[in-house]
């Protein structure tokens, strides 16, 4: 069986996806790669290779050496960081995807691309955002996500590359911290709630956004890549969601477990402006119809699990 390559494997999604892939297919079938050097003792247990996706020959080398048949291409900058460094974001998010698609074309690999709710913009309907709708984002992150969806479609129709993708909402994980996203508050809040019973939020109390717990996200990626291609009409990329909430609503849920928890707000204008252009809730019926998508974690279940897992982790680390 040909192997599975993950780019950006030390990042927010990659850290958990590598484990989920190993559990499904076996440790020796997964090659984890990242531009960062794996810190000793913290590298994923699978085969690890240092790889910079902006360097085409490096991707060729790894795909050839390990006989790769499927690529989960996760290496990219998140929304807030991309707004700070738009030129670097373009070069990594688009250049990295283009290189990876070229390798996929030449070595006949399937390719997964993570798009985002960031692929929508201020002229998109914000409630029940349809699968097929206006996509005119105003952030560099969003521009690279829409262009990425189109480029993946192009490689599928023009060259027959098996590209598939998801538009992720904010992802919440108890394993890897996010790095510079607009939805990061929904992860940070749990760390601060456990440690200090207090959090200062950078989005307004009433900013409603779609979210998903990471176990649902990794399962969605693997299920989509295993789905019957004959049923897929959308390929790049499917809306998916598990819950949508505001910071205010999340606080209510956390307070059911930690009644003394308090929040205050110091709004970051850059991230608030980004959040204000994203959907409050998306319609994921195409994913449900075409590959049987269904989330397992709602807000209550995610909150309970996050607090339990993180409390255990932070107590051991203390």
What is the contact surface with ligand SER in residues (CB under 6 A)?
78-79, 116-118, 168, 170-171, 181-183
Least distance in angstroms from the C-beta of 201 to ligand SER:
14
- For ligand SER, the closer CB: 58 or 182: 182
Residue closer to ligand SER (CB basis): 69 or 148: 148
Task: Name all contacts of 249-252 with Cβ < 8 Å and 24+ positions apart.
Answer: 249/299, 250/186, 250/189, 250/299, 250/303, 251/189
Least separation in angstroms between CB 101 and ligand SER: 20
Residue in 66, 141, 155, 185 annotated catalytic: 141
Q: Closest CB to ligand SER among 93 and 303?
A: 93
Distances (CA, A) of 239 to 75, 167, 284: 20, 5, 5
174: which 2 tokens?
């108890």
Active site (annotated) includes residue 48: no
Question: 9 with 15: CB under 8 angstroms?
Answer: yes
* 69/181 with CB nearer ligand SER: 181
Measured from the CB atom, the residue of 62 and 172 that comes closer to ligand SER is: 172
Q: Which residues contact 226 (CB under 8 A, 6 or more apart)?
A: none
Q: Which residues contact 120 (CB under 8 A, 6 or more apart)?
A: 129, 133, 134, 135, 137, 142, 277, 278, 279
Question: From the CB of residue 158, how many other CB atoms can be counted at a distance below 10 Å?
Answer: 9
C-alpha atoms less than 13 angstroms from C-alpha of 36 in its C-beta half-sphere: 14
On whether the CB atoms of residues 181 and 248 are closer than 8 A, the answer is no
Q: Which residue is nearest to ligand SER (CB)?
A: 181
DSSP secondary structure string for all residues of 64-78? HHHTEEEEEE-----
Report how far residue 208's alpha carbon sits from residue 77's, in angstroms, rounded to the nearest whole number: 23
Rounded least distance, CB 141 to ligand SER, Å: 6
What are the catalytic residues? 141
């Amino acid at each position: 069986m040909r192997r599975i390559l993950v780019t950006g494997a030390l990042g927010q999604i990659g850290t958990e996806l590598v484990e989920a892939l190993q559990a499904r297919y076996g440790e020796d079938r997964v090659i984890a790669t990242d531009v960062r050097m794996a810190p000793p003792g913290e590298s994923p247990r699978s085969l690890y290779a240092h790889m910079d996706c902006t360097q085409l020959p490096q991707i060729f080398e790894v795909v050839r050496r390990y006989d790769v048949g499927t690529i989960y291409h996760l290496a990219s900058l998140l929304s807030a960081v991309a707004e700070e460094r738009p030129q670097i974001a373009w070069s990594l998010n688009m250049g990295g995807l283009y290189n990876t698609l070229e390798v996929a074309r030449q070595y006949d690999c399937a390719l997964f691309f993570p798009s985002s709710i960031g692929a929508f913009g201020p002229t998109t309907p914000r409630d029940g955002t349809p699968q097929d709708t206006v996509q005119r984002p105003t952030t560099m992150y969003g521009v690279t996500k829409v262009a990425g969806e189109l480029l993946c479609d192009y490689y599928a129709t023009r060259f027959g590359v098996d590209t598939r993708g998801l538009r992720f909402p904010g992802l919440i994980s108890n394993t890897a911290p996010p790095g510079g996203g607009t939805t990061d508050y929904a992860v940070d809040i749990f760390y601060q709630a456990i440690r200090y019973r207090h959090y200062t939020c950078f989005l307004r109390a009433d900013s409603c956004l779609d979210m998903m717990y990471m176990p649902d996200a990794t399962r969605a990626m693997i299920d989509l890549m295993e789905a019957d291609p004959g049923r897929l009409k959308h390929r790049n990329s499917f809306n998916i969601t598990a819950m949508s909430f505001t910071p205010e609503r999340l606080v209510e849920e956390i307070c059911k477990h930690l009644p003394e928890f308090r929040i205050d707000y110091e709004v970051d204008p850059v991230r608030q402006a980004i959040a204000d252009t994203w959907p409050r809730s998306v319609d994921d019926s195409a994913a449900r119809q075409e590959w049987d998508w269904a989330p397992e974690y709602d807000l209550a279940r995610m909150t309970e699990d996050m607090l339990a897992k993180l409390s255990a982790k932070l107590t051991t680390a203390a």
